[in-house]
Amino acid sequence: MATTKVSIQGYEGSFHQVAAQQYFGKDVEVIPCATFREVIKIASNKKESNGGVMAIENSIAGSILPNYTLLQKSSLKIVGEVYLPIKQHLLVNPGVKLEDIKEVHSHHMAIQQCMEYLDKYDWKLVETDDTALSAKHIHQHKSKHIAGIASKLAAELFQLNILVPNIHTQKNNYTRFLMLQRLDDVLQIKDANKASVNFETDHSKGSLAKVLTKIADGGINLSKLQSFPIAGTNFKYSFHADMEFENTDIFNAVIEEIKPLTAQIKIYGVYKNGNPLAP
């Protein structure tokens, strides 16, 4: 059977690859991309990939708003999601001890996530483009005085030791990743209980409230509602909604109810809730 190939943002060993492995299996082949725009472009091309993996929100930093716009402009569908606990580790080459470290290299977000730990030491902190790339460079240069902050997968890929595990300050830090595929490849998902939808309300008074009432009355839990100004209009908005339900019949009925109240509606995907913290 052919290997599944998906585009990811970042390098091998990044959290995007961890999420891809969690959803598609350990053998998934990843295509590293510098930007999320490139992730979407490659995921949309059947000659290059079977889909893509894209982070959409973080439990501490919030929504990655530009990625919603990329999703809106693409023709890709959401087929699943992974909520990944973000665990940052201090990585070194084998034999390097804590007292040998003079510098710590990683992405600025990872450094920020670990400041409480890093503040205990007089290390030079060096910001890089990517957590996993820092790990790769430490391995390649056989650095004896440089540590990196990255994932367990990065440690495994680049033969580094986890000198100190879990150095992140916030222990309950999740990033939500969307699994994206082209419409031609999407199969109906059994036991689907979540959907992502984008809709525009018309200009009539209270139109959003009417839509939200129909959603609530239909027995759907609205787990996310994000507004976006529509470019080129005077304060008109589109709304991204994540809806949770017991079965797809409930969802389909509510969509029919809200269609007359919306100027436009687009279903990004109907899939299984991946949130381990969901009730």
Token digits of residue 235: 């304060």
Single out the residue of 223, 227, 215 nearest to residue 259, CA to CA: 215
Residues 178 and 47 in one domain: yes
Is position 153 within any domain?
yes
| Tens digit of each residue's pLDDT (9 = 90 or more) over 81-137 | 999 999 999 999 999 999 999 999 999 999 999 999 999 999 999 999 999 999 999
| Alpha-carbon separation of residue 253 from 69, 131, 224, 248, 250 (angstroms) | 27, 44, 19, 8, 5
Residues 141 and 72 in one domain: no
Question: Domain tally for the chain?
Answer: 3
Residues 23 and 129 in one domain: no
Query: Exposure string (b/e) for 11-39, b if CB count within 10 Å is 16 or more?
Result: bbbbbbbbbbbbbbeeebebbbbeebeeb
Is position 128 within any domain?
yes
CATH number for 204 = 3.30.70.260
Residues 207 and 235 in one domain: yes
Q: Is 3 exposed, middle or buried (0-12, 13-18, 19+ CB in 10 A)?
A: exposed
Residue 277 has pLDDT above 80, yes or no: no
Stretch 210-231: mean pLDDT, rounded? Answer: 93
Question: What pLDDT does 279 receive?
Answer: 62
Range of the domain at 118: 89-164
Is position 145 within any domain?
yes
Answer yes or no: pTM beyond 0.85.
yes
- Three-state DSSP class for 99? helix
Question: What pLDDT does 1 receive?
Answer: 54
Residues 74 and 115 in one domain: no
Is position 222 within any domain?
yes
CATH number for 159 = 3.40.190.10
